[in-house]
Amino acid sequence: MELQQLKEMATQVRRDIVRMVHGAQSGHPGGSLGCSDFLTALYFKVMKHDPAFNMDGVGEDLFFLSNGHISPLLYSVLARSGYFRVEELATFRQLNSRLQGHPATHEHLPGVRIASGSLGQGMSVAIGAALAKKLNKDDRMVYSLHGDGELQEGQNWEAIMFAAHHKVDNLIATIDYNGQQIDGPTEMVMGLGDLRGKFEAFGWTVLEIAEGNNMERVLEGLEEAKAYSGKGKPVCILLHTAMGSGVSFMEGTHEWHGIAPNDAQLEQALLELTGSTTDY
């Protein structure tokens, strides 16, 4: 996709997210909206991947969602990429749906390689997948996405240390650096300190995307990150986003971390996104 198409797709993904969470009256719209530009860029421009879906992913770039509560975003991007029918998005969080509140593998949903949502575990899985590609002489990349509050889980730091020691330089791990988590701002719950300095001290190459909801800047950042791969160090992107980006009353606050919009709020959100309540 070209730039304007990517922007339009990110808008459609946001519309999917608010519709899905509204339909279920359950889910996590805030982080999903905030990371929409990033995941749209990854799936529709950056990664080499096949919607026919082979669980092994040989010869493909792989993506692992660690902060699994933003599953509406992943499901929308997978459906719009052709992994399954867009109509299935309407079953989000329904009984017997393949679209669970947190991604699950036992439902065999194409595009989902790990069950996620137990925070702190995705870094370890992504590192394992990247090492497997090295052992198999597969030159494709592994990408992962993590919440900033999720880094309060200790398992991350053992994995971060492991990746640098073993020179896992085919991994690009992105942190959604929105400064919010379910109980409030991260600085109030448990401050993260100098996150860039921490990753660098652990032996990673770190770059920042200051405008994580600007498609041009996201694309530039991902290309820069790819240029650092293969140089002996894992790569971390600190992606500065606004939770709830694109919907005015959800933006920049933890209050919409896990709350569904009512009918009037859904209509307002859809109108704000494209000036219409109907999809493209």
Q: What is the pLDDT of residues 224-262, one digit of tens each?
A: 999 999 999 999 999 999 999 999 999 999 999 999 999
Q: What is the 8-class DSSP label of residue 223?
A: H
The residue-averaged pLDDT of 72-99 equals 97
pLDDT by residue (tens digit) across 19-61? 999 999 999 999 999 999 999 999 999 999 999 999 999 999 9
Amino acid at 160: I
Q: Which amino acid is at 2?
A: E
Domain presence at residue 180: yes
pLDDT at 280 over 80: no
Let me know if residue 279 belongs to a domain. Answer: no
Per-residue pLDDT, averaged over 200-214, amounts to 98
- Which stretch of DSSP H or E encloses residue 147? strand 142-147
Q: Which residue type, as a one-letter code, is found at position 273?
A: L
Taking each helix axis as running N to C, give the angle between helix 215-228 and helix 3-24, from 0 to 180 degrees, rounded to the nearest 10: 100
CA distance 49 to 170: 16
Residue 145 has what pLDDT? 98
Asked if residue 280 is part of any domain, the answer here is: no
Q: Can you say whether the dihedral through the CA atoms of 88, 94, 72, 53 is positive or negative?
A: negative
The CATH number that applies at residue 226 is 3.40.50.970
- Residue 117, domain member (yes or no): yes
Residue 182: what pLDDT?
87
Check residue 179 and give its pLDDT: 93
The predicted-structure confidence for 187-202, as pLDDT tens digits, reads as follows 899 999 999 999 999 9
Please provide the average confidence, as pLDDT, over all residues in the chain.
Answer: 96
- pLDDT reading at 279 higher than 70: no
* Per-residue pLDDT at 278: 63
Domain of 202 in residue numbering reads as: 3-274
Tens of pLDDT along 145-160? 999 999 999 999 999 9
- Identify whether 23 is part of a domain: yes
Give the total number of structural domains in the chain: 1
What is the predicted pLDDT for the residue at 276?
63
Evaluate the CA torsion angle 144, 149, 154, 157 in order and state its sign: positive
Please give the average per-residue pLDDT across 78-86, as a whole number: 98
